[in-house]
Amino acid sequence: MRRHLITALLYTVVTTILFGVVYPFAVTGLAQVFFKNKANGQLIRQNGELVGSRIIGQPFTAAGYFHSRPSAAGNGYDAANSSGSNYAPTNKKLVDRVSGDVAALQLDHPKADIPVDLVTASASGLDPDITPAGAEFQVARIARERQPRLKFLRGFPHRLRIRAPLPFVFSAAPTIAGAAATAAVCIVINGLFMRADGFGRTT
């Protein structure tokens, strides 16, 4: 019995040190060496000031910027309150909110089909991705605000693709790859616009 207790105690100590100390430090160290930017949250800095993250959306609202999808996280894209609305599809608050968003978007595009991602929130409320259709839908508005600087953007979302790191990655979901590519480019372009406009924060 005593031998079993000693064995169990030693096993507990060894596995605690191995998996509770050595493994976390090893993984953290490797991540800092090989994937430092991703491991630290893909933070975006401008003039030394932290202004956001490439993997957390921001609520751009000015007409000259690409707009993100709606967010139910806190007051919008609040990383401390990540969540969806959890409303059922028939919930009146959800129906009214989506109807209002559709009506607002149709002011610029009467009778046009609205890309679904522009009126629906992600489960986390933090998703920065928009689909190529969601980006293309906004190009006319941005071009109107920033002529002629955005002529080169016309039609660009449909040319975006991400090369999969392995043959089977995204093979069944090409729209996800397209959305990630579009989001990455829109984030960069919004950043350039902010710099040109003299802003260090979202507008």
Asked whether residue 115 is assigned to any structural domain, the reply reads yes
Q: Cis check for the bond before 148: say yes or no (omega within 30 of 0).
A: yes
pLDDT digits (tens, 9 = 90+) for 74-100: 888 888 888 888 888 889 998 999 999
* Cα–Cα distance for residue pair 96/55, rounded to 1 Å: 28
Together in a domain, 46 and 19: no
Together in a domain, 81 and 124: yes
Phi, psi of 77 (to 5 degrees): 55, 40
Together in a domain, 11 and 94: no
Together in a domain, 31 and 70: no
In this prediction, residue 142 has a pLDDT band, given cuts at 50, 70 and 90, of: confident
Task: For the chain, give the percent of residues with pLDDT over 70.
Answer: 72
Per-residue pLDDT, averaged over 112-130, amounts to 86
Together in a domain, 15 and 92: no
Angstrom CA distances, 200 to 25, 32, 60, 197, stand at: 35, 27, 13, 9
Q: Which domain holds residue 17?
A: 1-40
Per-residue pLDDT, averaged over 147-152, amounts to 58
Q: For the whole model, what pTM was predicted?
A: 0.62
Together in a domain, 96 and 24: no
Structure tokens at 54: 């490439």
Helix, strand, coil fractions of the chain, as percent rounded to 5:
50, 5, 45
Asked whether residue 202 is assigned to any structural domain, the reply reads no
